[in-house]
Amino acid sequence: MPEVLEAHQDYKRADEEALELRFRARARLGLAILRERDKGTPQEAIARRLDRTREQVRRYEQAYRDWRKEHPDEPLED
């Protein structure tokens, strides 16, 4: 049974790491979108290029804002 428990812990750890990786990637996308919008590109144009809805693009932007709140001192860009 110890091998099963250890494997389960490894699985849970990998799942948490994958979620964090995805959260960071969404936040980076949101940041890139916000920077593009600062250049004057409309949200609708960005949504079309990404083949997403405006609401999905808005959620990417919000993902960046949420990440910034939760990680105020951690740089997002590598």
Residue 56's closest CA among 48, 21, 19, 24? Answer: 48
Q: Which residues of 16-54 are buried (b: 16+ CB within 10 A; e: fewer)?
A: eeeeeeeebebbbbbbebeeeeeeeeeeeebbeeeeeee
Whether pLDDT at 63 is above 90: yes
Average pLDDT over every residue of 45-71: 97
Average pLDDT over every residue of 14-39: 96
Average pLDDT over every residue of 23-35: 96
Can you give the pLDDT at residue 16?
96
